[in-house]
Amino acid sequence: MTHRIDHTPFLVPPGSRVCLADHDPGATAGIHSKKEARKALLEDVTYLAEMQRLLWASDQVAVLIIFQALDAAGKDGAIRHVMSGVNPQGVDVYSFKAPTDEERLRPFLWRPARVMPARGRIAIFNRSYYEEVLVVRVHPEWLEQQWLPPEYRDGNLDGLWQRRFDEINAFEQLMIENGIVIIKFFLNVSRKEQRKRFLERLDNPEKHWKFSASDIAERRHWDEYMHAYGEMLSHTSTAAAPWYIIPADHKWFTRACVADIIAGRIEDLDLAYPEVTDAERSELAAARKELNAE
């Protein structure tokens, strides 16, 4: 496979400090038109379907794809378009909404641990366990409903976020050592573009269902979220599970770039179809002989 998009600028080097103000949400990495992006997307979607068949047949590893973003960044559309060519029987999509009563009584990584993909399968997290260092950092009052280590139960959260970053990194490393490839995307939408998309939802009756009053409430915390995301990206982009900051102001580019990265990452696994044993080869020959004789 030849990469159609240079996504090196979007990769977060491990140990680097991320300031989202330095990342252009409108970048297109040399893709100059929707037509060009759609052509690249179609080619990558077709190739991704081939890679999924190889992933399933080889039965060696699993793939976990994580999407994080602010509202209206295009997570749902990216998932729908990028995965449009794969066999749905081999893909599971999970949306991490507010934790249930049962989940709140347990450590925050219990929820994702229950739905990690089996070998040969792809799992997609539409938002993820990273919400536990994002939304609750912006709204620390929500932590009152969760289980917390004793030292943080008095409201003093110093050290909690770094502790959770370390726990996430250790959790992901454990998953990787057990055959799960983790691909992480932050879809980086600008405040201006988010406003435009919110207004489109309000102006179009067919999109009213996508809008919630909480969207506006969370938008008021834009700067706090930018800081929380910057910290998350800085502390949890590792050599084994790096983050990609994908420009999201142009949906056509976002989808093409995400598809290119996923297809390339699976290709890099250098998987192979299972080899047929001598006994199986004899069975195949016998079956062919019988069918040809009909």
Mean pLDDT over 197-208 rounds to 88
pLDDT value of residue 291: 87
Residue 289's CB is within 10 A of a number of other CB atoms, namely 9
Query: For residues 55 and 120, is the Cβ–Cβ distance under 8 A?
Result: yes
Q: Residue range 214-231: average pLDDT? A: 95
Q: Look at residue 280 and tell me whether its pLDDT is greater than 70.
A: yes
pTM confidence score: 0.93
Question: Shortest CA distance to 257 belongs to which of 3, 64, 1, 2?
Answer: 3
Angle between helices 34-58 and 251-267 (to 10 degrees): 30
pLDDT of residue 240: 96
Share the mean pLDDT of the chain. 93
Residue of higher predicted confidence among 100 and 231? 231
Per-residue pLDDT, 1: 53
Mean pLDDT of 246-257: 97
| Strand, helix or coil for residue 68 | strand
Domains of the chain, CATH where assigned: 8-293 (3.40.50.300)
* Band (22; pLDDT cuts 50, 70, 90): very high
- Stretch 84-107: mean pLDDT: 91
Give CA–CA dist 129/140, Å, rounded: 16
Residue 285 clears pLDDT 60, i.e. is over it: yes
